[in-house]
Structure 1
């Protein structure tokens, strides 16, 4: 498995990007429009939030799915025995946000969503004609003015040594959405499962973007684009005693978008949330 590192500004970037997605479910972008300074500010600001008691004022709304999810209410990956070793905040522009974080988080959400729309155009451009015919509408129009795209601010707390046996920061899973946009945190831990069942490290140089396919794009493309299993393993050595912040943007279509003969976005999302114990 060869996850390609693609220069966003290169003339052949769209083709190389989509080729990597097709072969591995993942691609890594460099020289993209999202700045390291912006990401650093977000990491530091959200770390301060998770370190404070303020997070208890934003306990998640089970109906709307926005707000703070503690380690006790964190998700359990499909087929896993233990909850993931993480807490997180679900941010939507229409939802709640800590006042000190609202502006910078909204700005990042908008810029990352705009970039993701371009990436969906690339995916459609390099989809075979028979696969394009499967899309109920253009991929980028599926997310135009969508209220469903989710920015999940993840906090992996320091390990204590008292974790349940076999528990990891994020057990093996596939994402639900169309594409996921994840700024690399410059720390090892994210791994992808290859076609022979081996786990391989995903390149994680600080400032790069890791992009992966979700189940909804796999569904819309009739399986042409693979939603690949991935996980975040527990760090070793000094890294085990450090917090880690991650900012995956889960790109979701509008609720009534038809993905296939079986599912709309809404029906597919409900099915998966029930499997994860979040609904």
Structure 2
């Protein structure tokens, strides 16, 4: 089995894309509206940022979680004990950002957000009536005016040999949010866990856009759409000297959005952040 890229411009794009999400929790789009040149420039400019001492001027605010997260405070995936081998920057339109990088990253944030809204409409339109009746409001409306949607600029540095045994770039985990939009990274390594427990490489062809289901959409859809386990494995051989940059946009509903009888978006997020040890 492999993940097939769906042509965004195909007349059956919505059906094919949502079917892929339903079967694997992941969908891959090609010929989509996100400009490859924009993504390439962001990778280059932010890699320079991560390799400079300037990043220390933007250390994250503990209360609002915006800014630079050094490797020393990297996440520990739920159910794991080793920190991921990564550092990252949390960009929110209202948060701190290096002045020279803000215009470019904000333009990307806005264009990706617009596409995400369209993809949520696809998901809702292709949901069976038995599933869509669970949605307390239109899916695309859940993210409207939300200050919680997060663009994370991830930097996986080259491996130097002093990493903790068994630590990898991103341990197996599920995302918390509704959906995540991710341009193919500048290096491979992303894998998705299949129903039989095996791991499948997610296509890393530059220009592809990868979308996956998060826990909140799984909850809101009554588990019709699976929040799929994924990870980023360490490179092998000469590739260990290469850094990896990726740009996941995590689509978060407004805190007041009702996901199910059990959770609002706010209560769900706080529960998961406590489990991760972030708050």
Q: Does 1:161 align with 2:192?
A: no
Residue-by-residue CA offset, 1:224-249 (whole Å, 9 max, x unaligned): 00000000000012211111110000
1:233-268 deviation digits (Å, cap 9, x = unpaired)? 000122111111100000001110000111111111
Partner residue in 1 for 2:38: 38
Offset at 1:188? 2.1
Q: What is the alpha-carbon distance in structure 2 between the residues aligned to residue 239 and residue 40 of structure 1?
A: 19
Structure 2 counterpart of 1:229: 229
Tell me the distance in 2 between the aligned counterparts of 1:150 and 1:186.
20
Distance (whole Å) between structure 2 residues aligned to residue 186 and residue 222 of structure 1: 35
2:83 aligned with 1:96, yes or no? no
Aligned equivalent of 2:271: 271
Instruction: Give the aligned partner of residue 191 of structure 2.
Output: 191
Matches within 5 A, 1:53-64: 53-64=53-64
Name the residue aligned to 1:18.
18
- Is residue 252 from structure 1 mapped to residue 252 from structure 2 by the alignment? yes
| SS at 2:167 equivalent | coil
In the alignment, is the contact (CA less than 8 A) between 2:68 and 2:90 conserved in 1?
yes
Q: Report if aligned partners of 1:70, 1:87 keep a CA contact under 8 Å in 2.
A: yes
Aligned partners of 1:250, 1:23: CA distance in 2, in Å?
A: 21
Instruction: Give the stretch that moved more between structures: 225-234 or 195-204.
Output: 195-204
Q: For structure 2, list consecutive stretches of 5 or more residues without a partner in the other structure.
A: none
In structure 2, the partner of 1:73 is 73
Aligned pairs (5 A) from 1:105-144: 105-144=105-144
Note if contact 1:2-1:24 (Cα within 8 Å) is conserved in structure 2: no
Equivalent residue, structure 1, for 2:219:
219
Question: Normalising by the residue count of structure 1, what TM-score does the alignment of the two structures yield?
Answer: 0.99
TM-score (norm 2): 0.99
- Cα distance in 2 for partners of 1:185, 1:144 equals 27
The equivalent of 2:50 in structure 1 is: 50
Q: Is the contact between residue 77 and residue 171 of structure 1 (CA under 8 Å) also seen in structure 2?
A: yes
Deviation at 1:43, TM superposition (A): 0.4
- Give the C-alpha shift of residue 186 in structure 1: 4.7
RMSD (Å), alpha carbons: 0.8
Query: What are the Cα deviations for residues 47-102 of structure 1, in whole angstroms up to 9, with x where unaligned?
Result: 11101111111111111011111101111000111000000000000101000110
Number of residues of Structure 1 aligned to a counterpart in Structure 2: 279
Q: Tell me the CA shift for residue 2 of structure 1.
A: 4.2
- The secondary structure found in structure 2 opposite 1:72 is helix
Q: Secondary structure at the match of 2:72?
A: coil
Q: State the 1:3 CA deviation.
A: 2.4
**Secondary structure at 1:20's aligned position in 2?**
helix
